Structures are given as C-alpha cells and as structure tokens.
Amino acid sequence: MTERARLVLSDCVDAHAELVDGLQGSAWRRRWTTVVVLLRVMLHVLQKVDAAAEPSLQRALDERWRHFVETKPAPNAQGYVRRRLRAFTPCLARQRSRR
C-alpha cells in the first residue's frame, strides 16, 4: 500500500472513530456518509494509483471485487436498504421521484 492509500486509510479510521454512541439525526448521517465516501475513495486510490504501478495488487483487487459482486445481497435486501435510506432522507426521495 502506498503512502497515498495509507493517508486515506488513516482518514477512514479517524472518521470511523467519530461514529460514537449518541449521535443522532443529521450528525450521524453526515459521519456515516463520510466513512462510506472515504472507503470508496480508498478503493479508487488502490485501483487507479497503486494498482497501475503494481500488477499483483491489480490481480488481488480484481479477485476481491469478483467475490464482492458474487456475494452481493439479494435484490430484496437492496430494496430494503434503499427504502430505509429514503425514510431517513425524505428530501432525496423527493428528488429521485421528480426524475
């Protein structure tokens, strides 16, 4: 893992530590979103920066991604998650329904 990926991982760890008991409402959603976004950024750094310089890392990432896709939850579970997210974010549900 390069210095760039380690920096993003450090940010992920710090953001996760801020998800403490007692957070509610928009504060919790902002912290949770931050963690998810940072994890996605780390994957992007690994795929686009690190893997370009290290073929063995590219193979490992490809293998893990295939495993992730193969073990993806059933569509009903995904629908449940979307419905729950809409319940917590009514403004997003309204924006999507306008499209």
Question: Does residue 81 form part of some domain?
Answer: no
Instruction: Give the global pTM.
Output: 0.58
- What is the number of alpha carbons within 13 Å of residue 37 lying toward its C-beta? 7
Split at pLDDT 50, 70, 90, the class of 93 is: very low
Q: What is the 3-state secondary structure of 39-92?
A: HHHHHHHHHHHHHHHCHHHHHHHHHHHHHHHHCCCCHHHHHHHHHHHHHHCHHH
Print the domain residue range for 34. 3-53
Question: Does residue 30 form part of some domain?
Answer: yes
Total domains, the chain: 1
Span 7-40, pLDDT tens digits: 888 988 888 888 877 778 888 888 888 888 888 8
Q: What pLDDT shows up at residue 24?
A: 83
Span 80-92, pLDDT tens digits: 667 766 666 655 4
Q: Which residues have C-beta within 8 Å of that of residue 21, sequence separation ≥ 6?
A: none
Distance from chain centroid for Cα 57: 20
